[in-house]
Structure 1
């Protein structure tokens, strides 16, 4: 219970203001209600300062209804009263109510001030009402408020969110007084829109900012780092920004303020550029690692194929007392699927159920992907049918991919037709999934029907991936001439995937002439891919053309090309065993090769020797 010891009205009001500020800082609805009761008790309900603070306190506690009751109880409403409720509605994302209150204010006797315009412009930007935003901009110009730096920054942010960087730049040039937020707003616009139609590029704008004597803060650096992370061509700028952070002592300690984003951005940019070791160094130097930092480094290892390290960090994170969030779970699931770790995936699924994160759509989609990659199609199907309350196109496409990879072509086609009946339109990824399933199952007629359906009825443009599936569809069924005719009539240039599909089909059916044709195109398209030269060399070796084999191998040496050995792995008793081609480093290698010799002998007796030898050649 609040106890106030000052009997004078001014002292009592100061006490209440103090307690109301404490209720705002702690987001305590109970303390706010106690303050409100004291205000009523001492007859201070018409005190404008107390009412303003009380509205802000209720809004901070997510109680917009009581905020409005306080507002309505004030007889002489000031601009501060209006501003408090407009801003309170905005914080609770009641944008329509904010706009209605602003219109009511403009129609009455209270004139908006700079804070009013700044708040309502943010509301219009968040709600996407950019037409009204332009009208408010005209109103501000008429009243001279647009020259205010804070108001100008709000309008620039609104224009950037509306995709109109040109208007934001025009307003930026007209501002008589800019602050760091002004520069950061335009940098954010460049980074988000990536518009190439402007004379000044992002980096020219950044250099201009430095020329005028402005130093970066954490928001500037994190925005630029996010831009670099999306474009591998500019990752070296990210390294320079990291040097700037270290040189200028910008805080890398993670918290829940704007600086929290900086460390994660550095981890992200190094991970996406394939330098996960550098990302790990950044992570290790962080003083306080919150869930976002752990998730960033886990995702970095998963993206770079180091799934075991991602797993270890995921468990270490929980040992450190950090509870994974939904993004953490989505980040670790691909590692479960890639390592065929069904047990690990089920543990993640169980964790999500216990913490009520299992209904997140992105998580459900990632779970479906994990289950079929880990070999449990039944679990994926059960989750898809009964565990996902909401399904989007990714959910359906993931399940179709799972059926295809497990050789269930007819079920993939049936699910595709069911998806269309539910009114969900397919995209390129869906088309590739079902066409690939048809190719694996030999469903030529279904594949042709699906291909023409997505092109003619759903407006999907043909892609090299879709075309390679069609070539694979015809090639696997032995229709090599039809596959070549399809390639010659494609509306898109045939890429490596198309010729690779023809090459595999030719090898499968023993058509050396078409196989050589496909290899030659592959070498022309991908002159730096060593796998193409190795395959071409094996083809000529099988035809006893040793002089050509020698020339191909010599060409590989001249270009410095060397094929990385193939690798596979299996998870047994929570331990992952990796195997490379002709690798004898494993402690059980002798026993493994003895078993392979037994299998080779059994395959020869069964008449499968040629296929076995072909598989060995493809692996070399």
Structure 2
């Protein structure tokens, strides 16, 4: 390699962007080096593999080289295999077989099999397997390992096992591939057996086992495996933190993160986003603030993913001021996830007009919204009663951005009309859909019927739901609620008997509150302990004070039993969010905001009680139910009683 070629290759190795690559390409073209196979191959490799947004440029480069060799073909196939259009790698491979006289090597098959795996294309994968067999490369270690992964991606664990069994001397990478294949195809027992038989295990083997257990919700087995590990890396810790957070085991996720810190390991991007996700789901505001401080101290505030997780944590913990601050401090070039997260956060809190303003800023910034962004915008319009604006954005999505509505967008429109009381409009909209409505869309309409007390339409909707999802307890409860509000107690009793006969049980309501960075959970009717007894004792005093000073009258119309008035009052008295707020008043310092997360929609009586408590006790309460936030202050709610 002469000095000019060395200089060109050296310059390429320092390129981090497509712009700088183009400058080196211009230099190579000017000096005639772009015709040199070695230099051109390096240039192609940099564009196809190293630079994330240069694949299209790589394809154009490839077309301009007269006689590309096997290395060049393999480079382009490799880049396309990992792209959003992996099927194009199969096309290039077919061209390579036609034009090159040299035999196809193991790299070609490995890269193109990866493309077939990413396409999930079993037919092409099996065809490639046959071609590898003809070329005598099917038992090659590199090709065999990729074949195992390909069959796993296509859900054929038996085929993956057959390939593995035919390998002469599988190394630890091949063993790890079959271990992954078993878990990916849902064969946890087969994976455990493979793990036991492995002649040699490395750290990756253990991490695959952890990940497999976590994904199959075998958390106790994951714990046991984690404790057996002699060595752990960032992936090990992140797997446990993220896995437990996603399974709703927030205390355990926090515990793993604290243990990681005690071990003196610096948190990485995955562990931070994982534990912040747990904070967001649990509404753990105080712990989230500590993590924010850790991010700042560690100098990780530049990471977009960590910022997005912080924004999500603050918004789902009910602190929009901090969420806005995180969003404003993000780098100017925000990702589409950042914009969409902020719109969704404002939507959850009922700030529909502000969410639309952020959407417009996003458009002005040059960031093109996607389907998920429009779900957040429509959600914002729905929860703020902005019907006309919602219709406008629904039309804009298709006309201006060419995004065809998915079932989720149609569901948002049904919710938009339903919440606004336009039930007939919502019903007609469902019947005019170009696709078959799913259970979620009908359930959304049933919820609107429940809110507005439309018995006749609720019965029609429930009939449609019964055909799609007959065993859903929530649908029965919603219809019972409509009957109860209308005073149709015979229908309530008949529906409850039907639920009992079909052994359909109502999902229990629970609420979570964070006090001194410890999470406390309350469930209506749960066996009493010292914590619940403390909450009940405080709640009795609160309810008495609300009756005397706030003029509280229990809202019992929606109680599902045709029972005595006193028993109805006792039923709504025991709701989990009331227990949580009582515990907060008993334990938290004066002036602190009480933050509660509830798994179900807050009922009208609890909504009234929260407003009265905020007025009588002079405290701010933030409740996150399953669909939005309610911020209670001075006797009023941020939802303006529109939820």
2:417 to 454, 466, 474: 474
> Separation in 2 of the partners of 1:85 and 1:484?
62
Is the deviation greater in 444-453 or in 458-467? 458-467
* Higher RCO (CA 8 Å, separation ≥ 6 residues): 2
Aligned to 1:451: 394
Does residue 186 of the first structure (1) align with residue 171 of the second (2)?
Answer: no
> Separation in 2 of the partners of 1:270 and 1:290?
17
> Separation in 1 of the partners of 2:602 and 2:169?
55
Does residue 535 of the first structure (1) align with residue 478 of the second (2)?
Answer: yes
Does residue 219 of the first structure (1) align with residue 173 of the second (2)?
Answer: yes
Q: Which string of whole-angstrom CA distances, capped at 9 and with x for unpartnered residues, describes residues 324-375 of structure 1?
A: 2111111111111122222322332332333333222222222221111111
Query: SS of the counterpart of 1:455?
Result: helix
Length-normalised TM-score, structure 2? 0.69
> Separation in 2 of the partners of 1:314 and 1:455?
44
1:284 to 227, 231, 234: 227
1:245 to 179, 182, 195: 195
1:168 to 109, 128, 149: 128
Aligned to 1:208: 162
Does residue 609 of the first structure (1) align with residue 559 of the second (2)?
Answer: no
> Separation in 2 of the partners of 1:124 and 1:537?
61
Query: SS of the counterpart of 2:522?
Result: strand
> Separation in 2 of the partners of 1:139 and 1:340?
60
Q: Which string of whole-angstrom CA distances, capped at 9 and with x for unpartnered residues, describes residues 213-268 of structure 1?
A: 657554345435545656xxx31x133122121134441x41xxxxx2x2222222
Contact 1:159 1:167 in 2 (8 A): no
Does residue 418 of the first structure (1) align with residue 368 of the second (2)?
Answer: no
Query: SS of the counterpart of 2:512?
Result: strand
Query: SS of the counterpart of 1:609?
Result: coil
Query: SS of the counterpart of 2:520?
Result: strand
1:306 to 243, 249, 253: 249
Contact 2:74 2:107 in 1 (8 A): no
Q: Give the CA deviation at 1:474.
A: 1.7
1:588 to 534, 544, 557: 534
- Compared with structure 1, are the counterparts of its residues 158 and 619 closer, same or farther at alpha carbon in structure 2 (3 Å cutoff)? closer
Q: Give the CA deviation at 1:552.
A: 2.7
> Separation in 1 of the partners of 2:257 and 2:272?
9
Contact 1:603 1:612 in 2 (8 A): no
> Separation in 1 of the partners of 2:231 and 2:554?
60
Q: What is the 5 A alignment of 1:386-535? A: 386-535=329-478
Q: Give the CA deviation at 1:317.
A: 1.0
- Compared with structure 1, are the counterparts of its residues 288 and 430 closer, same or farther at alpha carbon in structure 2 (3 Å cutoff)? same
Q: CA RMSD in A?
A: 4.4
Contact 2:149 2:160 in 1 (8 A): no
Query: SS of the counterpart of 1:288?
Result: coil
Q: Give the CA deviation at 1:127.
A: 4.0
Contact 2:207 2:235 in 1 (8 A): yes
> Separation in 2 of the partners of 1:442 and 1:473?
7
> Separation in 2 of the partners of 1:160 and 1:542?
54
- Compared with structure 1, are the counterparts of its residues 346 and 611 closer, same or farther at alpha carbon in structure 2 (3 Å cutoff)? farther
Query: SS of the counterpart of 2:511?
Result: strand
Length-normalised TM-score, structure 1? 0.72
Q: Which string of whole-angstrom CA distances, capped at 9 and with x for unpartnered residues, describes residues 477-498 of structure 1?
A: 2222222222221223223332
- Compared with structure 1, are the counterparts of its residues 608 and 434 closer, same or farther at alpha carbon in structure 2 (3 Å cutoff)? farther
Contact 1:271 1:303 in 2 (8 A): no
- Compared with structure 1, are the counterparts of its residues 160 and 305 closer, same or farther at alpha carbon in structure 2 (3 Å cutoff)? closer
> Separation in 2 of the partners of 1:322 and 1:477?
52
> Separation in 1 of the partners of 2:156 and 2:321?
50
Q: Which string of whole-angstrom CA distances, capped at 9 and with x for unpartnered residues, describes residues 127-175 of structure 1?
A: 44968877766676x34x54x6577656766887898646633431222
Q: Which string of whole-angstrom CA distances, capped at 9 and with x for unpartnered residues, describes residues 71-102 of structure 1?
A: xxxxxxxxxxx999989997997799x99xx9
Contact 1:153 1:181 in 2 (8 A): yes
Consecutive unaligned residues in structure 2, runs of 5 or more: 16-36, 81-87, 561-570, 576-600, 604-643
- Find the structure with the greater CA-based Rg: 1
Consecutive unaligned residues in structure 1, runs of 5 or more: 1-44, 47-54, 65-81, 195-200, 255-259
